[in-house]
Amino acid sequence: MRKLLYSFLLFSAVFSTDLIAQTPLNFNDSDPVKMGWMQGFPPPKDKIVSAIDGSFFKFPALRYSVCHMRQFMPTTVVKSTTGKTFKFKVRLDNNIDAITFTPTNANGLMTWKESLEKNYTDGMLILHKGKIIYEKYFGELKPDGLHAAMSVSKTFTGTLGGLLIEEGVLDENKLGSDYIPELKGSAFGDATIRQILDMTTGLKYSEDYSNPNAEIWAFSAAGNPFPKPQSYNGPTNYYDYLKTVQKEGEHGEVFGYKTVNTDVMGWIISKVSGKSIPELLSDRIWKPLGTHFDGYYQIDGAGIAFAGGGFSANMRDMAMFGEMIRKKGYFNKQQILPSALIDDIMKGGDKEAFKKSSYGSLNWSYRDMWWITHNEHGSFAARGVHGQTIYIDPKAEMVIVRFSSHPEAKNSKIDPTSLPAYHAVAKYLMNK
């Protein structure tokens, strides 16, 4: 139980994959509004979703929680613009629901509309040439609401890291310990900024939740902002934990998707910029975009934002970010990020290092914490557990934002009915 209590901060598969004995409720039966989570004054005992007992991160309550993360933990704001907000043009295309595709894990065709239910979609938005052509909200998510971005958060950290390299503030060939002397002695001490940004560090660090000795538990415990049990002697914030991560193998050889890389990157970025990730994201991206809604990050007991997974944001605001990336950094009448940065991201990371990883069969690569598919459209994406994504198809001039709350954490369970669906819409738009 203590494990559960201390685990919830990592937004992981633990509750959804390890603790669900039976087939989870389907999309409609797990609708958080219909299920009545947190409704009534007070809500019935069995409808209370809480961080205290860890219930907030268990499916199906998770379908409520992803829209209300700040109700469960301390947070810090990512301020949106106080000036003029950006307004998307809306040209809804009613043909999209009927577009069909072939899931990669089944025979026969599926419609786009069917895929939304299959993937426990909370929100889906498609931009084509910068206009909203599709926009749906389900269950607990409302147009003015926020949703947990999970590991899509990593992409914001990675993009800021790439930006600072582009601006010469960071040198991608320098080592972690060149910027943070406290990292000397940790695995990150002799890893280059590039290796950290592209996650080719060699780390003795397991994110296998089924293993009680996996390092992920110690990371979660350190970042937990709640009072620790008296017996707890470990680090009490993210940074103190990161200093303890040990090296395993060599850096630069194999892609290893491990959240701690992002949090080290967040630390380095904050150290050289003098701003926390939420502050820098607000100043350099969120405000210039003309976003409508403040976002927020969950934080640890020392006020440090969880750079690897703690962001919550509004769907249209996320779409502004995606469209800005698609337009090579230009959006809302200004060059927000240098086009060279986006060009570099789109070229992708080390494909050989990626091939050697557990994700190798995808034949993708990973750059500045973006997933580069290297498909014929040059599509690339930000991706988070339980189905969060920003998916950019440059050739089709399409950006998709999806928020969801799939009972399975791993995107490998959700991709078969998502990636071919996105590609089918892209092809439809190109022939339109």
Residues found near its own copies in the complex (CB under 8 A): 5, 38, 41-43, 48-52, 68, 70-77, 79, 82, 144, 225-228, 236-237, 239-240, 267, 270-271, 276, 292, 294, 296, 299, 301-304
Residue 58 and residue 13 in contact, taking contact as beta carbons nearer than 8 Å: no
User: What minimum distance in Å lies between the beta carbon of 164 and its own copies?
Assistant: 14
SS (H, E, C) the chain: CHHHHHHHHHCCCHHHHHCCCCCCCCCCCCCHHHHCCCCCCCCCHHHCCCCCCCHHHCCCCHHHHCCCHHHCCCEEEECCCCCCCCCCCECCCCCHHHCEECCCCCCCCEEHHHHHHHCCEEEEEEEECCEEEEEEECCCCCCCCCEECCCHHHHHHHHHHHHHHHCCCCCCCCEHHHHCHHHCCCCCCCCEHHHHHCCCCCEECCCCCCCCCCHHHHHHHHHCCCCCCCCCCCCCCHHHHHCCCEECCCCCCCCCCCHHHHHHHHHHHHHHHCCCHHHHHHHHHHHHHCCCCCEEEEECCCCCECCCCCEEECHHHHHHHHHHHHCCCEECCEECCCHHHHHHHHHCCCHHHHHCCCCHHHCCEEECCEEECCCCCCCEEEEEHHHEEEEEECCCCEEEEEEECCCCCCHHHCHHHCHHHHHHHHHHHHCC
User: What minimum distance in Å lies between the beta carbon of 216 and its own copies?
Assistant: 20
User: What minimum distance in Å lies between the beta carbon of 229 and its own copies?
Assistant: 9
User: What minimum distance in Å lies between the beta carbon of 13 and its own copies?
Assistant: 22
Nearer to its own copies among residue 43 and residue 249 (C-beta)? 43
> Other CB atoms closer than 10 Å to residue 43's CB: what's the count?
13
User: What minimum distance in Å lies between the beta carbon of 173 and its own copies?
Assistant: 22
Nearer to its own copies among residue 304 and residue 345 (C-beta)? 304
The C-alpha atoms of residue 353 and residue 355 are separated, in whole angstroms, by 6
User: What minimum distance in Å lies between the beta carbon of 60 and its own copies?
Assistant: 17
Nearer to its own copies among residue 25 and residue 48 (C-beta)? 48
User: What minimum distance in Å lies between the beta carbon of 210 and its own copies?
Assistant: 24
Nearer to its own copies among residue 144 and residue 208 (C-beta)? 144
Query: Which pair of tokens denotes residue 192?
Result: 């280059």
Nearer to its own copies among residue 39 and residue 339 (C-beta)? 39
User: What minimum distance in Å lies between the beta carbon of 230 and its own copies?
Assistant: 9
Nearer to its own copies among residue 76 and residue 177 (C-beta)? 76
Nearer to its own copies among residue 21 and residue 87 (C-beta)? 87
Name the residue among 188, 199, 247, 193 with its Cα closest to residue 357.
Answer: 199
User: Which residues, other chains included, contact 325 with Cβ-Cβ below 8 Å and sequence gap of 6+?
Assistant: 159, 337, 342, 345, 390, 392, 399
Nearer to its own copies among residue 256 and residue 308 (C-beta)? 308
Nearer to its own copies among residue 206 and residue 237 (C-beta)? 237
User: What minimum distance in Å lies between the beta carbon of 165 and its own copies?
Assistant: 18
Nearer to its own copies among residue 17 and residue 85 (C-beta)? 85
User: What minimum distance in Å lies between the beta carbon of 294 and its own copies?
Assistant: 6
